[in-house]
Chains A and B, each alone.
Chain A
Amino acid sequence: MLFDLAHIWAALIAFAVLSYVILDGFDLGIGILFPLLRNRQDRHLAMNTIAPVWDGNETWLVLGGGGLFAVFPLAYAVVMPALYPLIIVMLLGLIFRGVAFEFVHRTRRMQAFWEWGFAVGSLVAAVAQGLALGALVQGIAVEGRAFAGGTWDWLTPFSALTALALLAGYALLGATWLILKTEGAPQRRALALARPLAPGFVGLIGAVSLATVFVRPEYMERWFGWPMMLVSLGMPLLVLGLVWALWTGLQRGLSARPFLATLGLFILSYIGLGISFFPHIVPPAMTITEAAAPDSSLHFLLVGAVVLIPMILAYTSYSYWVFRGKVRPEDGYH
C-alpha cells in the first residue's frame, strides 16, 4: 500500500526535512561564508537578511526530529544512537550560531568571538549534517529493535564526500541568497563567491551520485527498474536545465535566478535520495512500514498536521513577504 498512513507520514517527514535543508541551508551557508565576506558591516548585513526568519527555519529541524519520534519512533530510536557524536556536535554548533544573532549586538569586547561562533557553529553543524547523510545512505546496523554498530561507524570516505558536497551546497545557497537580498558591493562579493561554488557543488553532486552506486549496488537497481527508469532518464535533463539557469544567472548577475536554481538542484538531489531509500526509512533493512508507530498515533497527529501545516506555510510565507526586498545597512535590526 502506497497511500496508507505510514507512507503519507513518510512523505510529510521527508517534506519537513527538505524544508529544513533548504531554509536552514541558506542560513548555515551565510555562516559558512561569513569569514569570506568583505568586512564587519557586510557580515552584519548578511546576518540581518536572516535575523527575522532563522528561528522559523530551524523549527523545521525540530519538526523533522520530533516528527520522527512521533510517527517513526523505531527509526528515531535506531538513528539517534547510531549518529550519536554527530547529533551532539551538530546541536552544539547550532547553539553557538543561534545565540550569535543576539549576542553580537550585546557586547563590544566579545563581538568578534560571537562572530566566529556564528561562522564555526554553522560550519560544524553543516559538516555534521553532511556526515550524517552519508552514514544514512551507507546504511545502519540494526539488531532487534536497536542500533548494533560502533560509535564511529559513520566516519567513512563516503560520508566525508557527502559532507563536502553538502557544505558546498549550503555555501552556494547562502551566496545566492545574499545575491537576492543585497545590492551594490556586498552583492558583487556574493556573486564572486558563488561563481566558483556553483561548478564545485554540481561536480560534487555528480561524485556523490556515482559513489552511491558503489556503496550500495541495490540503489542502482531501484533507479533503473521499471517505472523509475522514466524518472532516471528525465532527471539528468532537469539537472542540466537548472545548471544552465544557475550559470547564466550568475554570469548576468541576476538577483533571483541563481538562488532559485540552487533550490531546484537541492530538491532534485533530495528526490534522488528518496528514490534510492524507498521503501526503507533506515537503510539497508528497516522499512517505512516496520518503523511506523501504531495507526492510532499516525492518525491523531495527521488530523492536526493537515490543518496546521498549510497554516504554517501560509504565515511563514507571510513573514518572508513582510521582510521581502533588499536589506540595506541602515535597516539595522538592532
Chain B
Amino acid sequence: MDFGQTAVDLARFQFAFTISAHIIFPAFSIGLASFLAVLNALWLWRRDPVYLRLFDYWKTIFAVVFGMGVVSGIVMSYQFGTNWSVFSDKVGPVIGPLMGYEVLSAFFLEAGFLGIMLFGRARVGDRLHMAATAIVALGTLASAFWILSVNSWMQTPAGYSINEVGQFVPEDWWAIVFNPSFPYRLVHMVLAAYLTTAFVVGAVGAWHLLRSPGSRGAAVMFSMAMWMALIVTPLQIYAGDEHGINTLEHQPAKVAAMEGHYEGHPNGGAPLILFGLPDDEAGVVRWKVEIPYLSNLILTHSLTKPLPGLNDFPPEDRPKAALIFWTFRIMVAIGFAMLAVGLWAAWARWKGRLYTDRWLHRAALAMGPSGFLAVLCGWITTEVGRQPFTVYGVLRTTDSVAPLAAEAVGASLLAFIVVYFFVFGSGTFYVLRLMAKRPKDRVDVEEIGPTRSAGITPIAGHPQLGDRIVPGE
C-alpha cells in the first residue's frame, strides 16, 4: 500500500488530510463557543426566551461538532511523533512547550467546563453556568493562540539556536511565541473562525426563514449573523492584506507563488494576475488575465518598488505555484462574496426587508459552507507555500520525516481516510439534520425535562409571547 509514492509524500499527504479534517471543527467551534456565550448572556440579561431556545438549539450542534474536534485533535497530537519523528526530536524543544501550554491552558479548560455548559445549568445555577459557558469560549481562543504561535514559528522561526545534535534550542521565549508572523496569523484565523460560524448560523437562519417565514428564532439568528458579516468581513479583508504584506517581508517566495510571479519585477510594475494556469515546469502562467501594476500596488503600496519572482530563488528552495495560486484566489473571492452578502443584508435591514428578502436568504444559504472552504484554501496556501521546508528556511521537509516504510504510512493513511469519511461524514449528516429542525418557537416544558432549571419559564401564562415577529419588524 505505498501507492507508488515515497514515505515522505505519504506522510505529507497524511498530515494534510488529518489536519484538514480537523481544522473544520475548531474553525466552527471557536466561533460557536463565543456565539453560545453571547446567546446565554443575552438570555440572562434580557430574559427573552428566544435566546434560551437558540442557546439550546446551537448547544446540541456544538456538542456534536466539539466531540468530533476532540477526537480528530487527539490524532494530531500524535501525528508529529508517528510520521515526523525526526522533526519532533529536533523541533520539540521549541514548539513542544507551546503545545504543552495549549493542553494545560486550553484543552483542560474546555473539557473541564464543557460538561457543566452542556448538562449542568440545573445543577449549578445560572451564574456558574454562564461562567462555564464563557470559560469554554475562552478556552477555544486560548487554544487558537498557542497552536497559531506554533504554526507561525514554523513559518517565521525566531529566538532559537541549534545545538550539537541538531536540536533547536530555545533562547528567547518571548521572541518564539510572538514571532514575526504570529500576530497577523492569529487575528486572521480567529476572524476566519468567527466568519465561518456567522455564515453557518446565517445560512441556518435563512433556511428557516425561507421555509417558515416569520419564525422568530430564525429571524434573530439571521440578524445576528448578518451583523457579524457586515462588521467582521471588512476587518478580515484588512487583516488579510496586512498578513500578506507580512508574508512578503518574511517569505517572499511564498508570495511570488501565490501571485504566479515567476519572473521578478526589480523596477516594480508587477501586474495582478486575476486568472491563469501556472506551469511550474516551464515557469510561466498560461492563459493569464492580468491588471497592470495592481499586484505592486497591493503588496508594496507603491508602483515602483521591486517585487521578487520565483526565479529569484534557488530551484530547490521554491514552493510550487500551481496549487496555491488557485487556493489563494478562491479564498480571496469568498472574502469579497462575504462582504457583498454583509452589505446586501445591511441594505435590506435599512429598507426593512431583512426577514422577507427571499433572494438575500437564498444567497446567505448558498454562502453557508463558504467559511470552511475559505479556511481550507487559506491554510493550503500558507502551508504549501512554506514548502520545501518544515521550519522555513532552516529544516527541510525531507529531513523531518520518520524512518518508516512507505507501506506503513500508506496503510495508516488508508485507514484514516476510510474512518474519517465514514465517521465525520456521519457526524456532518447529523449536524445538518439538527440544523434542518426548526428552532422551537415555544418553551416546551415537557420536553425540556429535568436537566434544565425550573426557573426558565418566567413567561408561563403568556405562552405565545415572543413567538412570532411581524414581517418587517
Contacts and interface: CB of A to CB of B under 8 A. Distances in A.
Given A145-B165, A331-B450, A79 B81 contact: yes
Interface string B240-272: 000000000000000000000000000000000
B124 A322 contact: yes
A294 B167 contact: yes
A88 B96 contact: no
A73 B72 contact: no
B86 interface: yes
Nearest to A291: B89
B107 A308 contact: no
B468 interface: no
B271 to A, nearest CB: 45
Name the interface size band of chain A.
35 or more
- B-side binding surface: helix, strand, loop or mixed? helix
Contact of B97 (A96, A101, A300): A300
Contacts of B416: 88, 92
B434 interface: yes
B23 interface: no
Given A69-B92, A99-B427, A145-B89, A151 B405 contact: yes
A51 interface: yes
B89 A66 contact: no
B171 A296 contact: yes
Contact of A319 (B80, B97, B104, B116): B116
Interface stretch (A29-37, A52-60, A155-163, A277-285): A52-60
Contact of A315 (B63, B113, B412): B113
Nearest to B100: A70
A294 B451 contact: no
A331 to B, nearest CB: 7
Interface in B80-109: 80-82, 85-86, 88-94, 96-97, 99-105, 107-109
Contact of A309 (B89, B104, B107): B104
B115 A323 contact: yes
B118 A333 contact: yes
A78 B89 CA distance: 9
B415 A80 contact: no
A71 interface: yes
Contacts of B336: none
B427 A103 contact: yes
B423 A95 contact: yes
Contacts of B82: 80-81, 84, 87-88
Interface string A291-334: 00110110011001100110010011011001100000011110
Contacts of B89: 73-74, 76-77, 145-146
Which of A66, A79, A293: most chain B CB closer than 10 A? A66
A67 B100 contact: yes
A63 interface: yes
Nearest to B124: A322
Contacts of B75: 91, 95
Contacts of B169: 294, 296-297
Given A61-B74, A293-B93, A322 B116 contact: yes
A146 B399 CA distance: 13
A181 to B, nearest CB: 14
B74 A319 contact: no
B99 A92 contact: no
Which of B64, B68, B112, B415: most chain A CB closer than 10 A? B112
Interface of B: 63-64, 67-68, 70-75, 77-78, 80-82, 85-86, 88-94, 96-97, 99-105, 107-116, 118-120, 123-124, 163, 165, 167, 169-171, 173, 402-405, 408, 412, 415-416, 419, 423, 426-427, 430, 433-434, 449-451
12 contacts: A52-B114, A58-B74, A73-B96, A77-B85, A80-B78, A80-B85, A103-B427, A110-B426, A309-B104, A323-B119, A331-B450, A333-B119
Given A71-B100, A296-B169, 15 more contacts: A62-B107, A74-B92, A76-B81, A77-B81, A81-B402, A98-B70, A99-B423, A102-B67, A107-B430, A294-B170, A297-B93, A305-B100, A308-B105, A331-B450, A333-B119
- Among all A-B residue pairs, the 10 with the closest Cβ atoms: A73-B92, A80-B81, A52-B115, A70-B96, A77-B89, A56-B111, A98-B71, A106-B430, A77-B85, A293-B93
